[in-house]
Amino acid sequence: MIKKNTSMKPATTQNSHDGKGEVTRIKLLEEADFLGKGRLFNSMELEPGSSIGLHEHKGEQEIYYIMQGKAMYNDNGTVRPVEAGDVTICPSGESHGIEAIGDETLKVIALILFT
């Protein structure tokens, strides 16, 4: 199977998980594509100052791969800088959030797998 980029349309949300600004997401896979093992595989873009607020995962883990830009990553209340090439993992029962900083758009791949 091949999913052409022309079939994947961006969607923008405001104040994701009580964050700031906008997050533009492109759904790369549908939940059915995970065969019961996950629910999300998205490309996300956040302009500097935009964020995804702190939120908890239960029964699943979320992984971010930072493709471009810089951010402050909230790992259970501890905020740390991340940049292109870094990977973050939020296991089940833990919380995370992310805020784009710097001068360029933050581009992230997000993956949610069931635990």
* pLDDT band, residue 17 (cuts 50/70/90): very high
Return the pLDDT at 62: 98
Tens of pLDDT, residues 45-83: 999 999 999 999 999 999 999 999 999 999 999 999 999
What mean pLDDT do residues 26-52 have? 97
Return the pLDDT at 91: 98
Q: DSSP E strands: which ranges in 47-103?
A: 51-56, 60-68, 70-75, 78-83, 87-90, 95-101
Return the pLDDT at 40: 98
* pLDDT band, residue 4 (cuts 50/70/90): very high
- Residue 84: count other Cβ atoms within 10 Å of its Cβ: 15
What mean pLDDT do residues 85-94 have? 98
